[in-house]
Amino acid sequence: MKLKLKLSKRQMMVPAILALAAGGLTMSRSVADQPHGGVDGPARTACRDFAAGYPQARTKTARLALADRVTASSGRTGNTAIAQRAAEMGRSADDDGGAWRSAAQALTTACRDAGVRISYEM
Q: Is residue 13 part of a domain?
A: no
Domain boundaries, position 55? 37-113
How many other CB atoms are there within 10 angstroms of residue 9's CB atom? 6
Number of H helices, E strands in the chain: 5, 0
Q: Is residue 21 part of a domain?
A: no
Q: What is the pLDDT of residues 40-91, one digit of tens each?
A: 999 999 999 999 999 999 999 999 999 999 999 999 999 999 999 999 999 9
Q: Is residue 95 part of a domain?
A: yes
How many other CB atoms are there within 10 angstroms of residue 74's CB atom? 28
Q: Is residue 18 part of a domain?
A: no
**Residue 104, CA distances (Å) to 19, 26, 33, 88, 96 in order:** 44, 35, 26, 9, 11
Number of domains in the chain: 1
Q: What is the pLDDT of residues 11-41, one digit of tens each?
A: 555 554 544 544 554 444 344 344 455 789 9
Q: Is residue 24 part of a domain?
A: no
Q: Is residue 60 part of a domain?
A: yes
Distance CA 68, CA 73 (A): 9
pTM above 0.75, yes or no: no
